[in-house]
Amino acid sequence: MSQADKDGGIRRGRPGYDQETVLRVAVEAFNQHGYEATSMGVLAENLGISKSAIYHHVASKEELLELALEEALGGLEAILKTPAEPGGLPVDRLEYVLRETIAVLVAKLPYVTLLLRLRGNTEMERGALARRREFDRQVSALVAAAQADGSLRNDIDPRTAERLLYGTINSIVEWYRPGGPLTAQKLADDVIAMLFGGLRQG
């Protein structure tokens, strides 16, 4: 059994640093320079520690990417795992999923940004993209269900509607800055009002 296993899966690393700090700095660097262009040397420089010290926290740069993607994907997948309200309409479930997606995006902005910029160059990246596509597929199914019961207009293809919904939501990573005058709640209200204004039956 490794020391990480003995510690409950947490690599405690060198005093003054923890895996969360190393991961946060790594994600900032990946987003700034690109994952492939960011070496362990760059990460060590940004952290102010040696490369060997980083390996007290993670085994490789790939592990950092995997941990970062799990932050984003785990948050998104947890939304769909939350049970729907008994007797609730598909359109209500759809609004809940979209609002919670925005909340995850805001709370984990750097991690979701990294996910959205994946190119699928490695098996791990392709696996992450497959999980993201499955999330999108389930949202598309919600759109179709809401169209079928007459809650949403049915003259728009469900996949097209889903892509437009998430194209709008995903664009938030490019301009939203937490801590500004626009709160996460107001952001969600505005996005939902705009999106559903064009989708609901008149």
- Do 128 and 72 lie in one domain? The reply is yes
DSSP 115-136: HHT----SHHHHHHHHHHHHHH
Among 31, 59, 87, the domain-final residue is 59
Residues 45 and 84 in one domain: no
Is this model's pTM higher than 0.95 or not?
Answer: no
User: How far is Cα 75 from Cα 101, in angstroms, rounded to an integer?
Assistant: 8
Give yes or no for residue 12 having a pLDDT over 80.
no
* Residue 9 in this model has a pLDDT that exceeds 50: no
pLDDT exceeds cutoff 80 at 118: yes
- Of the candidates 53, 172, 47, 50, the residue with the CA atom closest to the CA atom of residue 105: 172
Q: At which of 41, 59, 77 does a domain end?
A: 59
84 and 170 share one domain: yes
Strand ranges for the chain from DSSP E: none
Q: Tell me: pLDDT of 31 over 90.
A: yes
44 and 84 belong to one structural domain: no
pLDDT of residue 6: 42
Euclidean distance between CA atoms 148 and 142, whole angstroms: 10
Q: What's the CATH code of the domain at 171?
A: 1.10.357.10
Q: Is the CB of residue 108 less than 8 Å from the CB of residue 72?
A: yes
202 pLDDT exceeds 70? no
142: Cβ contacts below 8 Å, ≥ 6 apart: 90, 93, 94, 97
The closest alpha carbon to 101, from 7, 32, 184, belongs to 184
Residue 154 has pLDDT above 90, yes or no: no
- pLDDT average, residue stretch 149-175: 91
- Report the CATH number that the domain containing residue 49 is assigned in CATH: 1.10.10.60
Residue of 74, 195, 172 whose CA lies nearest to 132: 74
What distance in Å separates the CA atoms of residue 164 and residue 10, rounded to the nearest whole number? 39
What confidence category does residue 3 fall into, taking pLDDT thresholds of 50, 70 and 90? Answer: very low
For the residues 167-173, what does the mean pLDDT come to? 93
Q: Which percentage of the chain shows pLDDT scores above 70?
A: 91
CB-CB contact of 80 with 38 (8 Å): no
* 46 plus 133 within the same structural domain: no
On the question of pLDDT at 141 being above 60, the answer is yes
Q: Per the structure, how many domains does the chain have?
A: 2
Q: Do 83 and 169 share a domain, yes or no?
A: yes
Residues 132 and 74 sit within 8 Å (Cβ to Cβ): no
Average pLDDT, the chain: 88
Mean pLDDT of the 129-158 span: 93
User: 128: domain range?
Assistant: 68-199
Residues 182 and 115 in one domain: yes
My answer on whether 81 and 51 are in the same domain is no
Q: Which pLDDT score is estimated for 32?
A: 94
